[in-house]
Amino acid sequence: MTTQASDSTSASSNERTKTVTSSENISASSEREVLISLLNAREPYSEDDLDDISFALFDDDELEEFYTLYDEGGLHPVSLGDQLSGGRYTIVNKLGHGSYSTVWLAHDELLNRKVAIKITATTNVCGKDGFSSDEPGILRQLDDDKTQHPGSRSVLRCLDHFTLRGPNGLHQCFVSDPIRVTLAQTKFRSEGLWTFPVQVARAITAQLILGVAYLHSKGVVHGDLHMGNVMLDMPEEELAKLSVKEVVTKYGLPRQYPIELCQAGVDFHGPIPENAPPYIIGAMYLGDSCEKLRLWDSKVLISDFNESWQPALKQRYHLNTPAKACAPEAMVAETLRQPIGFPADVWAMGCIIYELLSPRDVFDPVFPSFELAWLRMINILGKPPKSWWDAWEERADFFDDEGNYKPNNKIPHKYLPQLLEDELLAGIERREEDITRVRNIGKKRDDNAIISKADACGDLSAEEKQDLVALLKKIFCWLPEERATAEDLANGPWMKKWGLPAIAAMEQAYADKAKEIPVTTSAMAVNHGYGALWANAWASAAARGLGLFLVQLFERATSAVTAGWW
């Protein structure tokens, strides 16, 4: 299937897009021919293959997009080899998906390199406050950097923008450099520690602070800042400069899941939409577990501006940020008619910084509810401001008039009150306990690989712990106006003492890595149709440290029961 983009516009150059769209010779792609040839040469699926695919699809730790989303007003059906924007971009593989989009690896015929294309759902998502996304406008605002702000390097750039008319409606398409994975993915695939090496966490923290400071200097609130929207960058030699054949050699053929299997694997068995593609493509995985990241892996980019807005142009009273990173003012903003602004990003950034160096979240509600996250905040920060407390309609479910917990409240588990500094230090110390535990497991098994993994994470000095806690205490304040601004943090003592040296070391390591000859990485390549499914499945389980994961899970559950959390 070849899909052409009608109504094509470009964020970077209207003239260039017009030329590309009208060009006749761009549609003839040798890269596309190579891809189609490789796909056609793959052996047909046997019954055993289909059984194994079904297992791989629904036993995976990262589900693909739901097939029912390919309905009118939803996602655009993309097939391998599709050509977009007048034939300029050829779809090669899938990089991932979000709540309202899919992201694809494509070959740019004009520049002869690989790019990433995010194709959004047709429906313009609106929040409870009637918010309507203007991602193209936000990206144009961020692209105009006349000040050369150092944080601009930590924001994902839009290389091109066009619209795509398909069977499900009109879709916005955003082109960028291909990037590796999200911070959330690397932590999700942890091999038992759920934490980042100290030097990596330090470099990421510094880049986040500068990146958010840049967004705010441009008058933009990100609005959905969490670990799933912070990406690890990669040198272009790793993917962007590869040919299709080299991509397949390095990462394997795309994984194609027949849509009938996708339908059979869900409980409700909804009908397959008329415009759904014949296959759901499995996303490439280009990263590693958080413990294995090295300094050259730690270059990050803030991405996904679908929820972003400019407070000078519009007001918002609702956030769609995950509960564990959502600023507390979002609970009462609509009731009190107090608009949400830049401090909400600073709060979310603080939650990410804490997650980098702790196996748990600072305001983790355990059960994903903003209300329960609020209870966690109350236990750590104390009672919220009176106007907020009075505006919180559900407080009577948990507290009496004096602010004490009711004996039969609706809290599913107990939260013990704790001072902010104590809670922050406890999370970091839990990290050190986990590292020691894993190191001891390695010694017991005489396994140097496990020992090395634990040693690579490193320990924070007492001095750095105190400086980090001081940084976070400036962020975790109830009132938005009492929080440090991103610019304050960018010019503050932590950045000068720890952050800027970490960025310099990271950039040097990244530049050195880019000079090396690319080699095959440990990224998973599943070759359905060649009888390699089980081998890949077991290799994946081994790579993710399943044994350590189970040990860690058991120990965490035991600790939770002992502490009275359940």
Beta strands 279-282 and 300-302 are unpaired
Which tokens hold the place of 232? 């690890």
In angstroms, rounded to a whole number, what is the distance separating the alpha carbons of residues 215 and 38? 43
DSSP assignment letter at 404 = P
Contact 174, 161 (CB under 8 A): yes
Task: Decide if 469 is inside a domain.
Answer: yes
Q: Which is nearest to 480 in space by CA: 380, 363, 364, 333? A: 333
pLDDT at 452: 81
Domain of 327, CATH number, reads: 1.10.510.10
Q: Is 241 annotated as a binding residue?
A: no
User: Structural domain tally of the chain?
Assistant: 1
pLDDT at 367: 59
Which ranges of the chain have pLDDT less than 70?
Answer: 1-29, 55-62, 124-130, 265-269, 365-368, 408-417, 517-566
**Torsion angle of the four alpha carbons 266, 325, 301, 340, in this order, in degrees rounded to the nearest 10:** 110
In angstroms, rounded to a whole number, what is the distance separating the alpha carbons of residues 333 and 330? 5
Task: Decide if 2 is inside a domain.
Answer: no
pLDDT in tens, 445-468: 877 777 887 778 888 999 999 999
Task: Decide if 406 is inside a domain.
Answer: yes
Contact 428, 460 (CB under 8 A): yes
Contact 255, 281 (CB under 8 A): yes
Task: Decide if 27 is inside a domain.
Answer: yes
437-469 exposure pattern, b = at least 16 Cβ within 10 A, e = fewer: bbbebbeeeeeeebbebbebbbebeeebbeebb
Task: Decide if 3 is inside a domain.
Answer: no
Please compute Rg for the chain using Cα positions: 24
pLDDT at 522: 40
The domain containing residue 345 runs over which residues?
A: 14-563
Burial of 538 (0-12, 13-18, 19+ CB in 10 A): exposed
In angstroms, rounded to a whole number, what is the distance separating the alpha carbons of residues 92 and 13? 24
Task: Decide if 5 is inside a domain.
Answer: no
User: Could you give phi then psi for residue 460, rounded to 5 degrees?
Assistant: -85, 140
Task: Decide if 238 is inside a domain.
Answer: yes
In angstroms, rounded to a whole number, what is the distance separating the alpha carbons of residues 77 and 166? 8
In angstroms, rounded to a whole number, what is the distance separating the alpha carbons of residues 342 and 312? 11
**Long-range contact pairs involving 34-40 (C-beta distance under 8 Å, separation at least 24):** 34/243, 34/244, 34/245, 35/80, 35/81, 35/90, 35/92, 35/244, 35/248, 36/80, 36/81, 38/244, 38/245, 38/248, 38/253, 39/80, 39/81, 39/253, 39/254
231: β partners: 182, 301
pLDDT at 136: 93
- Which pTM was predicted? 0.84
Task: Decide if 132 is inside a domain.
Answer: yes
Beta strands 169-176 and 113-120 are antiparallel
pLDDT at 287: 84
